[in-house]
Structure 1
Amino acid sequence: MCGIFGYLGTQNATPLLLSGLERLAYRGYDSSGIAVAGQNNDLKVLKASGKIENLLKLNAADPIEGIRGIGHTRWATHGEPTDINAHPHTSRLGNIAVVHNGIVENFNDIKKMLKASGHNFKSETDTEVIPLLIETYLKSTPSLEEAVRETVNQLEGAHAIACISSNEPEKIVVARKGNAGGIAIGFGDNEVFISSDMAALVPLTSKVAYLDSSELAVITSNKCRISTLDGKPIETKIHQVDIESYAVAKGGFKHFMLKEIMEQPEAATSVLRGRVSFSPTKFMLPSLPFETKEIQGFSRAIFLGMGTSIYAAQVGARYLENFARVPASVENAAEFRYRDSVLDEHSLVVAISQSGETADTLEALSEAKSKGARTIAITNVEASAITRIADATLLMHAGPEIGVASTKTMINSMIVMYLLASYFAQERKNFSLNEVESHVHNLSKLPALLGDAIENALCTVKSVASKYAQSKRFLFIGRGLLEPIAREGAMKLKEISYIHAEGMSAAEIKHGPIALVDQETPVIAIALNNPLYEKMITNMSQVHARKGNVIAIATTKNSSILNNADDVLWVPECPESLQPIIATIPVQMLAYEIAEHLGNDIDQPRNLAKSVTVE
């Protein structure tokens, strides 16, 4: 995940920026850079691909000094991880520098407009449009603050931005739109620090203000003024942060699980980096060793997993069948290893394990490989055991996940499988160029959609959770791509609330489970706008006819759902292929809020471990 760090004060900014970037390195990156305002306020920029050590060497060879600056660790999305594509990016005159987390969804349109007005581009990135836009707006607006505000309001998607200008050297302007990671502002003695990660501020200060979505801050060495993106002033609330490392790691949230749910838009951005190209539009999975001919020769695929991973696998298998037309099935890894499966060199086995150490999944993958199948591991941990068994590894890039109940890794594993299926469809010629462009476009909107889903959940889930927290049991139902999310919702609720829950296809409910329906058994129906919506309405009516309560997860503005549900959790409108990813947010939040209402140990639920390394 990309990282932002900045400093404004009385000390030499360069060593502070470099050490701040080193503390952000754990998030993952492929290049880094800094911009520092020197003695004459001219901006000096150093950028290097590869490790931060390369940036340190550049500075050692030709040191730059100044008392204000910004820095960045980049994980590539638009453009390869090269020196020129690294952040910060600058304006045409070189007097404005910007660092940026997020994806500019409409960057092609903005780029065309800027080119038409005479701007030239040095990099392949989407970020470069931002300083050029700021420079353009400065011709008609009175200040850097207003130019940044105008620019951010023009950007589509989710963004976190920091900007400095040699024309207004006494300030740093930061802005946040949507959920592309946070911005924390730390206060010292006549100095201010900014960071996208609270952990990077810990050695420097314990006084912190947080920038929320749709907010902008103008920072000087002794002042921070926050306003909304439409210019309304907001009181700057400074928090005294507990510097105990465990509390800091939670970033101000009560539980790791909640923090990790909130990080999912940023995690989604991270997993897309380097795997989709916007110009030319295509999918790229450079870590796969398979030639196109081999991909075209696969006759079947088997997805393996345990727990949450098996539900993610069920989504992934449907993606592969729907997109690439490869017959795909899902098996419990523990059972797969003990049956004599029929595999050959035309079989593909995909194993999902967030830790990469799940004992049953490792054994199952080894079994598949011994029978000649080609194998792919999907994991969140680089160099874990599963990566040493599989022919290829696709990393989730979700960042550290501390809570035992998987959240970020569920979302990111589904995204990885979306990418895998799309790449196969591209290489097998199942996708036309227009379809490739459509799927890349949809994925570019995913981080912002996840942010919207989180905002919706924060508005509605808590009251619904308190209403039903004393229920004896829950049933979760869904159809098509949303059936696995019903099963995952039940799993999450069991894991952390200790309430019995079952997830199933809505079509199954009348074949036995409907006998459980009563006033103490709420039914969560995932009924988004898709071809199976009317089928879901029928199943919800069947529950109501038995005096059961229905909690619908539904698409915003679908007011007709209110005729068939007692309560509704809303998610944003999105393409059908993204619905399982988006619908995961409310089931995670519902489980969290019920467990919180009951006073349970959410991060370390009883009897569970993060990684199951025994059979």
Structure 2
Amino acid sequence: MCGIVGYVGARPVQGLLLAGLEKLEYRGYDSAGISILSGEQVDSVRAVGNLQALRDAVAALPHAAEVPGGAPVAVAEPTTGIGHTRWATHGRVSEENAHPHEDVDGRIHIVVNGIVENYMALKRELADEGVVFTSETDAEVIAHVISRRYDGDLPAAVQAAYGELVGHFAFVAMAADEPGVLVGARRECPLVVGRGDGEQFLASAVPAFLEHTRRVQFIEDGELVVLRPGGVDFMSPDGTPIEREVVEIDWDAETAEKGGYETFMLKEIHEQADAVAETIADRTARGDGVDLGDLGTIDDAFLRDVRRIIVVACGTSYHAGLIGRYAIEGWARVPVEMDVASEYRYRNPVVGPGDLVIGISQSGETADTLAAMRLARERGATVLAITNVMGSQATRDADGVLFTRAGLEIGVAATKTFVGQVAVMYLLALRLAELRGTLAPERLAELVGELKRLPHHITEMLDAGDEEIRAIAERHYKAEFFLYLGRHIGLPVALEGALKLKEISYIATDAYAAGEMKHGPIALLDDDTPVVCVATDSPVLDKVVSNIQEVRVRGAHVIAVASAGNEEIREHAEEVLTVAETDWMLAPLLAVVPLQLLSYHVARLRGLNVDQPRNLAKTVTVE
């Protein structure tokens, strides 16, 4: 996720911005920039790469001078500024696409986290008015929309512009002729105020200003905020003033990086709604279909006629691919084969022209997946990479790329990157169905609408708390074996849930297609065995219920994940975790969340480090 920092006050702003951005490096970024206001002059500096590249560029500013050690120091002492670290989504990694962005006249400067879903419509509208764009980003439109509303009152211009924007985002705006004023706006992306004496901070996360103040005000979703050195004003989008409590936090630096959560894994579980929203937002903006404009040389004609799809991946990415297989075959009617990447190249696979090989790798550097992709490409297949990291090796080895937009994931056990991968597979399946005409237009629009509602469902689930899941974990965390069962679209969820538990709790765990239970696993069941069953609504739910009954007869304890409204399941399972009702094919994006939390709490109760489980690495770069 991108990082934002802003400052108004009496201190030299340059060093504060750079230091704040350093504190946000843990969020991940590929470029960075700052804009600082001195008098009525705004100096903007942007650089690709790490913050040292930005520091070097800042040293050349007119108001910067060299001091021992080479660090720049402000001479004119500008008191207003904004800074940004960018994790690329729209547009390649380049200086032009780095933030801050500005309007045509250089009056309005903005930094943005998130996505403007209707940016293309706004961009066409602005272009018709004569606006010339200097970047490929969706973010730049915000500067121009504010600019055309601006008549010397920045808060009023931001308020008016806010109503024109569709999407999920947080942004901060600064005007050249209004020194000492910053205006921020939040819609589903984080933004927080740091309160000082005669100075104020605005950032995407507390670490950016923690060393300067521990007094914070949390901006709620759908609110705007105006910062001046002497105070902070909150308001609703219609201008109604809002009172917001000042909270004194006692976080240390590490806790602040975790956003107040006890671990990075828990923080990342709670970031999953954002990860899905970021991944699907602009790609589903038109509502009745899917746009995949970043597919490189893979064109619509190829996708329309593709004869077969092969997915190669490892671990969690493999499970995401399995979900994608069900969706692609079910919606687009294209045959899909799954292969464990580490085995693929050793079986002399039959692959060639007309085949689409999809390599899924969170890091884009997974050695086995890269090797499988290269083999397929050498034999004439078209290769698509699904990854979270721009510039990774997978992006260079593939004909096309679909990026997940989950942001940096620090916890070794994948959570938000998994849901990002699943979301991309759904997008691809819907696009294939649209091109091939295998779904009626109204059905396609219905599925796109359901997909767009999933981030809201995830947020609701997480906001409701996990006391019930924690209680289940307390009852079973001493168990020496767990069995996970699922059928059809529930099977990959069961596999992923089992993987999470074994990764971070070190409990022996197995996952099976529920119909296979009688072919061996049923022998493992006894009175001490917890059995986790994925029982969300689907055409095979009655079969799953039958399998649950077989489990209960053997004395095992059933923990079921079910769709809300299914009261019958409570007659068969001792413990039920419910998720929101949605189209049954999309249910995995919801059903996996309680399983992540169950694994999390079991591991924590066993006193284990969930962020760094033993023997595991975030990126497997060797065979």
Q: 1:273 to 1:233 in 2, by over 3 A?
A: closer
* Unpaired stretches in structure 1, ≥5 consecutive residues: 137-143
Give, in whole Å, the separation in 1 of the partners of 2:495 and 2:474. Answer: 22
SS at match of 2:489: helix
Q: Which amino acid aligns with 2:5?
A: F
Q: Which amino acid aligns with 1:236?
A: V
Q: Do residues 523 (structure 1) and 531 (structure 2) align?
A: yes
- For residues 107-162 of structure 1, give each alpha carbon's deviation from its aligned partner in whole angstroms, at most 9, with x where no partner exists: 999x9xxx9xxxx99899799899999x99xxxxxxx79x97x9999999865465
Superposed CA RMSD in Å reads: 5.0
- For residues 473-506 of structure 1, give each alpha carbon's deviation from its aligned partner in whole angstroms, at most 9, with x where no partner exists: 2122222222101011001000111111222222
Which aligned pairs between 1:31-42 and structure 2 lie closer than 5 A?
none
Q: Is the 8 A contact 1:75 1:273 kept in 2?
A: no
Q: Which amino acid aligns with 2:337?
A: S
Give, in whole Å, the separation in 2 of the partners of 1:376 and 1:132. Answer: 36
Give, in whole Å, the separation in 1 of the partners of 2:33 and 2:290. Answer: 25
Which aligned pairs between 1:339-350 and structure 2 lie closer than 5 A?
339-350=347-358
1:139 matched residue in structure 2? none
Give, in whole Å, the separation in 2 of the partners of 1:269 and 1:285. Answer: 17
Match of 2:246 among 236, 251, 257: 236
SS at match of 1:582: helix
Which aligned pairs between 1:156-305 and structure 2 lie closer than 5 A?
160=170, 178=188, 180=189, 182-201=190-209, 205=212, 207=214, 209=216, 211=218, 221=229, 235-243=245-253, 249-272=257-280, 275-278=283-286, 282-305=290-313
1:573 matched residue in structure 2? 581
Match of 1:463 among 467, 471, 489: 471
Q: 1:459 to 1:175 in 2, by over 3 A?
A: farther
Give, in whole Å, the separation in 1 of the partners of 2:6 and 2:372. Answer: 47
Deviation for aligned residue 1:12: 6.1
- For residues 370-397 of structure 1, give each alpha carbon's deviation from its aligned partner in whole angstroms, at most 9, with x where no partner exists: 3322222222333334334333333333
1:427 matched residue in structure 2? 435
Give, in whole Å, the separation in 1 of the partners of 2:474 and 2:519. Answer: 30
1:330 matched residue in structure 2? 338
Give, in whole Å, the separation in 1 of the partners of 2:438 and 2:293. Answer: 17
1:141 matched residue in structure 2? none
Q: Is the 8 A contact 1:288 1:393 kept in 2?
A: yes
Q: Do residues 582 (structure 1) and 585 (structure 2) align?
A: no
Give, in whole Å, the separation in 2 of the partners of 1:73 and 1:610. Answer: 22
**Structure 1 vs Structure 2: percent identity of aligned residues?**
35
Q: Which amino acid aligns with 1:493?
A: L
Give, in whole Å, the separation in 2 of the partners of 1:227 and 1:501. Answer: 51
Q: Which amino acid aligns with 2:374?
A: S
Deviation for aligned residue 1:81: 11
Q: Which amino acid aligns with 1:449?
A: H
Deviation for aligned residue 1:46: 8.0
Q: Which amino acid aligns with 1:10?
A: A
TM-score by length of 1: 0.77
Deviation for aligned residue 1:95: 12
Residues 328-337 or 425-434, more deviating? 425-434
Q: Do residues 534 (structure 1) and 547 (structure 2) align?
A: no
Give, in whole Å, the separation in 2 of the partners of 1:429 and 1:50. Answer: 42
SS at match of 2:266: helix
Give, in whole Å, the separation in 1 of the partners of 2:220 and 2:555. Answer: 41
Q: Is the 8 A contact 1:157 1:447 kept in 2?
A: no
SS at match of 2:587: helix
Give, in whole Å, the separation in 1 of the partners of 2:564 and 2:185. Answer: 27
Which aligned pairs between 1:145-156 and structure 2 lie closer than 5 A?
none
* Unpaired stretches in structure 2, ≥5 consecutive residues: 65-75, 150-154
TM-score by length of 2: 0.76
Give, in whole Å, the separation in 1 of the partners of 2:557 and 2:361. Answer: 35
Give, in whole Å, the separation in 2 of the partners of 1:390 and 1:594. Answer: 39
Q: 1:281 to 1:31 in 2, by over 3 A?
A: farther
Give, in whole Å, the separation in 1 of the partners of 2:119 and 2:374. Answer: 44
- For residues 324-377 of structure 1, give each alpha carbon's deviation from its aligned partner in whole angstroms, at most 9, with x where no partner exists: 221001111222222122112112221222233333323323332333222222
Number of equivalences: 596
Q: Is the 8 A contact 1:85 1:125 kept in 2?
A: no
Q: Which amino acid aligns with 2:606?
A: L
Give, in whole Å, the separation in 2 of the partners of 1:401 and 1:268. Answer: 14
Give, in whole Å, the separation in 1 of the partners of 2:467 and 2:120. Answer: 34
2:459 matched residue in structure 1? 451
1:6 matched residue in structure 2? 6
Deviation for aligned residue 1:564: 2.9
Give, in whole Å, the separation in 2 of the partners of 1:276 and 1:540. Answer: 37
Q: Which amino acid aligns with 1:538?
A: S
Q: Is the 8 A contact 2:115 2:281 kept in 1?
A: no
